[in-house]
Amino acid sequence: LLHQGSNTVMWPMWFFETFSQASGDPVGKTQKNLEGTAKFTDAPDVEGFKLIKQWVDDGILSKDSLSVDQDGMRAAFAAGKSAMYYGGTWEIPSLQSSVKDFKWGVFAFPKMDGTPGAPGHGGGADNGICVASSIPPEKLDAAIKFIEYLTQPEVATLYLAPEQPIAASIKGVPQVDDAYAVELRKEAFPSTIKFLDWIWPSEVATATASAIAGIVGGTTTPEEAAASIQTTFDDLKAQGNWPPK
């Protein structure tokens, strides 16, 4: 299995999966960590990293992932050089256009043996539009009107339909009804949790990505990974940058 490991911001997606199973309540535990009533070094957090390490130790997740980007990951799979890769629903159009010589399929991140929590997949709306908090007040009305235009179903279909959404984030935009999409809507979507890096401070997200890369490369233990993230968070608090003002 290859992952786009050189694109480091994608590593935390593995932790979203394993931490859900290790903790049973990944969002709740994350909130406690950020409130200071729990720590990133607690047993469930460390176990989340241990479960990622298990993929490497079992010979499934290749260390070659560390030097592979998204294009390389996709190309290796299409050429039959990797058995599978981990991604999101956005990968489907690429698979359909590039894989011609064999039959491929999709399945959700599996339940790992001995974990107390149910599988929970990091995710969110297929697409989202927001207004920057720093927008000048005199430009806000124009921005809102532009968003109103972009979210009209007939307009949104123009830019969302090519992505073949499994679940349309705007009512009226057609969604895919292929067998894989029906299965994912039934099995995976109800188990989808919020992307934890939408909750973490950006510094914690960066530290998590670096820690996972270290685990995959064999230079960092799960315990060291968790400790590095707690240290990053403690530094944020010491510098007065958390909680947000």
What pLDDT was estimated at residue 125? 66
What pLDDT was estimated at residue 190? 85
Question: What angle do the packed helices 26-35 and 12-23 form, to 10 degrees?
Answer: 100
Beta carbons within 8 Å of 8's beta carbon, 6+ residues apart: 206, 209, 210, 213
Beta carbons within 8 Å of 239's beta carbon, 6+ residues apart: none
What pLDDT was estimated at residue 124? 73
What string of DSSP letters covers 189-241?
GGGEEE-GGGTS-HHHHHHHHHHHHHHHHTSS-HHHHHHHHHHHHHHHHHTT-
CA distance 188 to 186: 6
The Cα-based distances of 15 to 30, 55, 70, 178, 198 in angstroms read 12, 12, 18, 29, 13
What pLDDT was estimated at residue 126? 67
Instruction: State the burial class of residue 15 (Cβ atoms within 10 Å of its Cβ: 0-12, 13-18, 19+).
Output: buried
Q: Is the pTM of this model over 0.75?
A: yes
Q: Identify the bridge partners of residue 123 per DSSP, sorted by sequence position.
A: 194
Hey, what CATH class is 8-123+178-238 in? alpha beta
CA proximity to 128, closest of 152, 113, 147, 141: 147
Q: Under DSSP, is residue 15 helix (H, G, I), strand (E, B) or coil?
A: helix
Q: What are the 10-residue block averages of pLDDT along the chain, 245 residues in total?
A: 96 97 97 98 99 98 97 97 92 90 92 94 79 95 98 95 84 89 85 90 98 98 99 98 91
201 preceded by cis ω (within 30°)?
no
What CA dihedral angle connects 39, 42, 44 and 47, to 10 degrees? 120
What pLDDT was estimated at residue 189? 82
CA distance 100 to 104: 9
The domain limits of the chain are 8-123+178-238
Tokens 């968003």 belong to residue: 147
